[in-house]
Amino acid sequence: MAEAELLCIGGYSDNDRAALDRDFAPRWLGGVDEIEGLPKADRDVIRAIAFKGHGTLGANQMDALPNLGLIANYGVGYDAIDVAAASERDIKVTNTPDVLNDDVADLAVAMLLAQSRRIVQGSDWVRSGTWAKQGEMALNRKVSGGRAGIVGLGRIGREIADRLAAFKMQIHYHSRSEKDVPDGWVYHADPVSLASAVDYLVVALVGGPETMGYVNAEAISALGPDGVIVNISRGTTIDEAAMLDALENGRLRGAALDVFLNEPDIDKRFMALDNVLLQPHQGSGTVETRAAMGQLQRDNIANFLAGRELVTPVN
């Protein structure tokens, strides 16, 4: 492989950066906005992009790289990439699915438990000395035996549902079509019907224009004042303003969120709420899973440059 046939964009860990340097001797950029500023001779030799970023990788950037054939995304979600534009230009897109399913599902369940059982507040109660001074903290809420609704029963959604079933929960779900599921799981044709039937609404949708605001104000209202939202998908999949209004006004009991609009500079209204558990978009954030994601991204790049079949193609 000729030097700099690979362009790497985004904030990679030291280990992933070292592995990319070792395997591909790439050119590094901080963001997609720097692509068009490269000299034409440098742009002309780029055949693949290793992408780990939140900026939009669109048609203009693709057109600036006339020999681009692959965009290898780091992560299962690829909504920052204009896949339609890539397909029009015969550019393949890959992602890193499956290797992160367990971690994301684990975090979704952990957030639900932590929000309902007020784990963070309990830790603070002890650390601050309040327990010793004031005694027991206020009672929290039971999770086992409740009714859980999964919005998007794909790979990750199914892992979440399987875990919640072990907590003796009734499982309801919404997907584009009915799935092959255990007896007793209930399909709903739309998110409003789903929300009206459950106590906990767990959002596990893919991001992108098709799911923008998918859990809308009507669905949030249908969940009701004793409902809890858990979101491990994308901030865009929920009407965030409607959710904040409901949380502030007592029309929603709580939320546990790993994703937001405008990350990491999220809406300051969240900071004033004690009924919301906040996480820094770390669903796949374990040493083991991030290593597996990096390896899968590199495998896709290596296969493309060698003319072999891609491991996890998107288009």
80 is in which domain, residue-wise? 6-98+288-305
For residue 166, pLDDT over 60 is answered with yes
DSSP state of 57: B
Indicate whether 77 pLDDT > 90. no
Same domain for 259 and 148?
yes
Identify which has the larger pLDDT, 174 or 2. 174
Is residue 168 assigned to a domain? yes
Is residue 65 in some structural domain?
yes
In a domain, 313, yes or no: no
Q: Are residues 45 and 170 in the same domain?
A: no
- 90, with CB counted inside 10 A (0-12, 13-18, 19+), is exposed
Same structural domain, 233 and 140 = yes
* 77 and 154 together in one domain: no
The pLDDT value recorded for residue 111 is 98
Residues 228 and 259 in one domain: yes
If one counts the domains in the chain, the total is: 2
Which value, to the nearest 10 degrees, does the dihedral of the CA atoms of residues 11, 114, 146, 282 take? 0
Instruction: Report pLDDT for 1.
Output: 42
Residue 179 predicted with pLDDT over 80: yes
Asked if residue 283 is part of any domain, the answer here is no
Q: Which of 36, 248, 263, 288 is catalytic?
A: 263
Predicted confidence (pLDDT) at residue 199 exceeds the cutoff of 90: yes
Q: Tell me whether residue 311 is in a domain.
A: no
| Same domain (yes/no): 124, 259 | yes
- The pLDDT tens digits for 103-113 are 999 999 999 99
Average pLDDT, the chain: 96
pLDDT band at 3 (very low <50, low <70, confident <90, very high): low
Across the range 76-93, mean pLDDT stands at: 95
Catalytic residue (choose from 188, 234, 290, 298): 234
Model pLDDT for residues 32-74, shown as the tens digit of each residue: 999 999 999 999 999 999 999 778 999 999 999 999 999 999 9
Does residue 1 lie within any of the structural domains?
no
Q: Is residue 226 part of a domain?
A: yes
- Report the distance separating Cα 63 and Cα 58, nearest Å: 9
Do 48 and 165 reside in the same domain of the chain?
no
| Domain of residue 60, CATH code | 3.40.50.720
d(CA 41, CA 44): 5
Kindly report, residue by residue over 4-30, the tens digit of the pLDDT: 799 999 999 999 999 999 999 999 999
Answer whether residue 198 is part of any domain: yes
Residue 63 and residue 205 in one domain: no
Percent of the chain clearing pLDDT 70 (strictly above): 99
If asked whether residues 170 and 84 sit together in one domain, one would say no
- Over residues 165-172, mean pLDDT: 98
Residues 78 and 130 in one domain: no
**Interval 206-218 mean pLDDT:** 94
What integer pLDDT is reported at residue 297 of this predicted model? 98
**Statement to judge: residues 254 and 158 lie in one domain:** yes
**Which residues, other chains included, contact 241 with Cβ-Cβ below 8 Å and sequence gap of 6+?**
none
User: b/e for 259-280, b at 16 or more Cβ within 10 A?
Assistant: bbeeeeebeeebeeeeebbbbe
pLDDT of residue 260: 98
pLDDT in tens, 243-296: 999 999 999 999 999 999 999 999 999 999 999 999 999 999 999 999 999 999
Distance (Å) of CA 174 to CA 105, 158, 169: 17, 11, 16
Give the number of other Cβ atoms within 10 Å of residue 178's Cβ.
Answer: 13
Would you state the pLDDT for residue 189?
Answer: 97
Does 222 share its domain with 300?
no
Decide if 234 is catalytic.
Answer: yes
pLDDT in tens, 302-311: 999 999 999 9
